[in-house]
Amino acid sequence: MQIGIIGLPNVGKSTLFNALTNAHAAVADYPFTTIEPNIGIVSVPDTRLKKLGEIYKPEKLTPTTIRFVDIAGLVKGASKGEGLGNKFLSHIREMDTLVQIVSCFRDNCNPSDEIEVIKTELFLADLEVVVRKISSVSPRAKCGIKEAKEELEILYQIKDSIEKGDASNSQLSPELQLLTSIPVFYLVNVKDINSKIPESKYELVPINAKLESEILELSDAEKKELEVKSDLDKLILAGYKILDLITFYTTVGTEIRAWNIKRGTSAQKAAGKIHSDFEKNFIRAEVFNFSELEKYGSEKALRENGLIRVEGKEYIVKDSDVMNIKI
């Protein structure tokens, strides 16, 4: 899972990135401090994995991870090459998800406006991609080539839906890699986590990036003394929820490992997260849920009570399932 951190210049993207990843990316009070993207990997906080560790006592306990990419600031006109322009947009194209940071730690703050500026740039960049593609396909369609005519029809449908601000049709042609088809969630970088955020039609999660980056440097004792606690775990979990991700676990050999997938994924597709061979050669999976394990205390007890199910390819994996995949 790759999450890109985007937003206008100077809104605290690198500050948040540092807090999330414990990295030391450059932070400064002027725009375009970040040019090349900063990349960092973060473990997803997971109390169930901890409990699985207590029950199984494996040699290795591996959480799922998220890759965060701190991207250069975007300005109005980026789709036409303003600021760092198209280079920035090409970095966004590779992301599974985007987090936009809106700045509310300075005097004026207008989340909706900041969000619209970025949305418009992504939209214009997409429109350009589709229009370019339409011009390249049109001559062949005019010659009466069937495939080209069909492709053109799809392209017009996509163009139409982009113009309506709806990215759902972009799935018709994934190779276009449209920016507006990437899910976005919004964080507001605030002075104080309790401060009031202006009304907005977007769902906004507050965060104090600077405080978070400072908390990171403190020991547990210092945190207690200063009565500060980090909200980053909450933020990662909020992202998980917004993206509708769930976690499943595998207990293979001496390792217990957590994996994330989209809710609604089949057992066979989930197996592909582990290895493409697991997806290709999937036969069945032995499955139980973590909640049952917690109740019965051990896998042995589950087995004795007939609570370990055998599921096929089409089984839809549930949050906190523990799966033993047979290939």
Contacts of residue 109, Cβ cutoff 8 Å, sequence gap at least 6: 102, 103, 188, 197, 198
Among 73, 85, 111, 239, the residue binding ligand GTP under the rule CB under 6 A is 73
Contacts of residue 268, Cβ cutoff 8 Å, sequence gap at least 6: 279, 282, 313, 314
Region of 26-34, 133-141, 226-234, 272-280 interacting with ligand GTP (CB under 6 A): 26-34
Smallest separation, CB 207 to ligand GTP (Å): 8
Partner in contact with 189, chosen from Mg ion, ligand GTP, none, beta carbon below 5 to 8 Å by kind: ligand GTP
- Does position 34 bind Mg ion by CB under 5 A? yes
Among 33, 112, 177, 200, the residue binding Mg ion under the rule CB under 5 A is 33
Residues 203-232 vs ligand GTP: string with x where CB under 6 A? -----xxx----------------------
Separation of alpha carbons 13 and 6, rounded Å:
7
Partner in contact with 159, chosen from Mg ion, ligand GTP, none, beta carbon below 5 to 8 Å by kind: none
Separation of alpha carbons 80 and 193, rounded Å:
36
Region of 28-36, 136-144, 157-165, 174-182 interacting with Mg ion (CB under 5 A): 28-36
Partner in contact with 203, chosen from Mg ion, ligand GTP, none, beta carbon below 5 to 8 Å by kind: none
Residue 259 structure tokens: 């994996």
The full length of the chain comes to 327
**DSSP 8-class letter at 296:** H
| Number of residues engaging ligand GTP in binding (CB under 6 A) | 21
Region of 23-31, 78-86, 264-272, 296-304 interacting with ligand GTP (CB under 6 A): 23-31
Give me the helices (H) in the chain, please: 13-21, 47-56, 85-93, 111-142, 146-163, 209-215, 220-226, 232-242, 267-274, 276-280, 290-296, 299-304
Place of tokens 């290895």: 275
- Does position 21 bind ligand GTP by CB under 6 A? no
Partner in contact with 247, chosen from ligand GTP, Mg ion, none, beta carbon below 5 to 8 Å by kind: none
Separation of alpha carbons 267 and 75, rounded Å:
42
Radius of gyration of the chain from its Cα atoms, rounded to whole angstroms? 23
User: Using CB under 6 A as the criterion, which residues of the chain lie in contact with ligand GTP when the complex forms?
Assistant: 7, 9-15, 27-29, 31-34, 73, 105, 189, 208-210
User: Using CB under 5 A as the criterion, which residues of the chain lie in contact with Mg ion when the complex forms?
Assistant: 13-14, 33-34
